[in-house]
């Protein structure tokens, strides 16, 4: 059992819901990334999702797209992200999940990427543009290396396909709360409860909900429905707004993460 499964099992045993915090590797600089990841982990993030910058991120909205461009301009590469992950792993025990697209993996070499990711201390992979029908080869490599290949499902995914995806899932199932791309939203769709209930009927693993969740009130609203909540764009926007002051930024991120985590403790064991 890797760190990801252990973390999610421990949260469930305590009746607590998990917080998954997304940050873009290399934003605002490679040197800042370990500091920021350590800050959010120590503030209460149970899992850190580390984005690998890519020039054509089809699932990402403008906030994360801009972060990816900042990271690329700062010289961030796939090899550099793997090196950062190894540095982060020396400092913090929380699970690390890479979020990337298939093109960078293909260019780096899938076997080499999976081996290097595992060696760096990663625990899982999210590849949003890799459909379940084409994921078998990468999933086999990931399984052999002890990495969880985490799939995504959307509100438009039919029940039959949810079942197919759930049967191949590793780690957890990432539920996308809305159609479209990542980004900060004022309100979440009213169909979230029905959608997560549909996924739950097929799931044998924990389910997490992300996309558009940007404040503690959102977290409190969805906590009873899922096992973990993903917050990304709100954190990444804070990085962009405070990029020139990394130490102050780390404190601000930590304070925000503490506020996001609080409803997940308070809602422990709540049922939809």
Q: How far is CA 86 from the centre of its chain?
A: 18
Quick check: helix, strand or coil at residue 190? Answer: coil
Selecting among 27, 49, 227, 267, the annotated active-site residue is 49
What is d(CA 249, CA 71) in angstroms, rounded to the nearest whole number? 16
Among candidate residues 146, 107, 117, 149, the one with its CA nearest the CA of residue 132: 149
Among candidate residues 84, 131, 83, 77, the one with its CA nearest the CA of residue 104: 77
Selecting among 27, 46, 60, 116, the annotated active-site residue is 60
**Residue 191 falls in the annotated catalytic set:** no
Q: Which helix (H) or strand (E) holds 230?
A: strand 228-231
Q: Please give the structure tokens belonging to residue 234.
A: 């709100």
What is d(CA 193, CA 98) in angstroms, rounded to the nearest whole number? 27
DSSP 24-65: ETTSS-TTHHHHHHHHHHHHT-SEEEEEPP-S--TT--HHHH
What is d(CA 95, CA 50) in angstroms, rounded to the nearest whole number? 10
Which region holds residue 180: left if phi is over 0, alpha if psi is between -120 and 50, else beta? left
**Residue 60 falls in the annotated catalytic set:** yes
Strand 207-210, strand 18-24: pairing: unpaired
Catalytic machinery residues: 49, 60
């Amino acid at each position: 059992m890797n760190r990801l499964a252990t973390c999610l099992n421990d949260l469930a045993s305590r009746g607590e819901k998990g917080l998954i915090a997304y940050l873009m590797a290399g934003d605002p600089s490679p040197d800042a990334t370990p500091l920021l990841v350590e800050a959010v982990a120590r503030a209460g993030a149970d899992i850190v999702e580390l984005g690998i910058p890519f020039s054509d991120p089809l699932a990402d909205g403008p906030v994360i797209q801009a972060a990816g461009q900042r990271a690329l301009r700062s010289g961030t590469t796939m090899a550099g992200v793997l090196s950062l992950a190894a540095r982060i792993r020396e400092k913090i025990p929380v699970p690390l999940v890479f979020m990337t697209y298939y093109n960078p993996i293909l260019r780096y070499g899938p076997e080499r990427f999976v081996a290097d990711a595992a060696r760096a201390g990663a625990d899982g992979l999210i590849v949003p543009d890799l459909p379940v029908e084409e994921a078998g080869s990468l999933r086999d490599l990931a399984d052999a290396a002890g990495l969880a290949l985490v799939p995504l499902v959307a509100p438009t995914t039919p029940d039959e396909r949810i079942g197919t995806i759930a049967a191949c899932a590793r780690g957890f199932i990432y539920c996308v709360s809305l159609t479209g791309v990542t980004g900060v939203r004022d309100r979440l769709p009213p169909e979230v409860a029905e959608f997560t209930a549909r996924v739950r009927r097929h799931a044998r693993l924990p389910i997490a909900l992300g996309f558009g969740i940007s404040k503690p009130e959102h977290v409190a609203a969805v906590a009873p429905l899922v096992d973990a909540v993903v917050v990304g764009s709100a954190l990444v926007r804070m990085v962009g707004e405070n990029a020139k002051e990394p130490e102050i930024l780390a404190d601000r991120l930590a304070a925000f993460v503490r506020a996001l985590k609080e409803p997940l403790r308070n809602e422990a064991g709540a049922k939809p």
